Amino acid sequence: MRALITGGRVTISQLTVDDVTIDGDTVGITFGTSPVVLPTPLADLVRELVATRCGKAKIGTPDDVPWLFPGGHPGRPLTDSQIGKRRHRIGVRPKQDRSTALFTLAAEVPAAILARMLGVHIKVAVRWQQASAGDWAAYAADVSQRKRL
């Protein structure tokens, strides 16, 4: 089963061990149809999670259920809210990381492309770009001056 994608968002709670690929030192996770190779610190954590995952259910074993994040009920994954509570307890703040990623992307990609890629209004993408100090005002002129190969 692939992670459930709703409204452009991946529901992490729906990930299964089949979504994780471990090939030597390389660890990847498939979100929807897009595989992602994980960087070393995260790859090590995911490798450990696959090997030691356990839920709170008294019936069955982790081998009996496919979920990467098994829940308290046999055969069910953790809920998104439970995963969020666990992330918060260990200090993971996805909103901060998301903002950092968006501002980094906005500094590197023209607003029109950013808006189309992320499905946001062009005015929102322009504001992100301005806040991240990205200057793409001359992008079209720069592209038109490039030598053709």
Place 27 in a pLDDT band, splitting at 50, 70 and 90.
very high
DSSP assignment letter at 13: G
65 CB neighbour count, 10 Å cutoff: 21
Per-residue pLDDT tens digits for 92-109: 777 777 788 888 888 888
Return the half-sphere exposure (C-beta side, CA atoms, 13 A cut-off) of residue 95: 2
Checking if the pLDDT of 6 tops 60, the result is no
Q: What is the pLDDT of residues 28-72, one digit of tens each?
A: 998 777 788 999 888 998 999 888 887 665 555 556 678 888 877
**The predicted structure's pLDDT at residue 1:** 42
E strands in the chain: 4-6, 9-11, 20-23, 26-31, 34-37
3-state secondary structure of 102: helix
